[in-house]
Amino acid sequence: MTETRDANVTWLTQEAYDRLKQELDYLTGDGRIEIAAKIEAARDEGDLKENGGYHAAKEEQGKQEGRVLQLQQILLNARVGEAPRTEGVVGPGMTVTVQFAGDDEEVTFLLASREESGAPIDVYSPKSPLGSAINGKKVGEKAKYTLPNGRSMAVEVIDATPYAGS
């Protein structure tokens, strides 16, 4: 399996990488100091069993630490720059048009990391059921994937071109 199609690689623009790194630095620095201060202030209010502020601060801390782990994983597997792309082959950084079986309408989207926000078209993750089913497929090829409800869906790749931006 080439690096382009590696399910663990997250391709990010330099801007997206910098934004995520800045968020991680804040959450592991000032963010932790701020949440610790909230917890300490709430703890000083008295009985912890009935202290809503304390429990809310602890829940916020848990969510923050979850985001820290998520960001660390994304940045660990990130490759900055443009994903290698081949015209007519579905992969990260490609604008993809598909047609679902039994439907005449075509759907066009960008296959990229969810962390690449700001694209003027819908973004589907290469790790999503649809994204992983069509990743590496050529124009004209069909694929099947499983929907969240357990049903199987067939899709045909109509077009795959490098994303040119807005």
**For residue 4, pLDDT beyond 60:** no
**Residue 41 in tokens:** 């202030």
Query: Residue 37 sits in a domain of what CATH number?
Result: 1.10.287.180
* Domain boundaries, position 42: 3-80
pLDDT tens, 7-28? 566 767 777 788 889 999 999 9
pLDDT band at 5 (very low <50, low <70, confident <90, very high): very low
In sequence order, which ranges of the chain are alpha helices (DSSP H)? 14-28, 30-43, 52-76, 129-134
Say if 85 falls within a structural domain: no
**Residue 71 in tokens:** 């960001």
pLDDT band at 3 (very low <50, low <70, confident <90, very high): very low
**For residue 37, pLDDT beyond 80:** yes
Comparing 71-75, 102-106, 162-166, which segment has the lowest mean pLDDT? 162-166
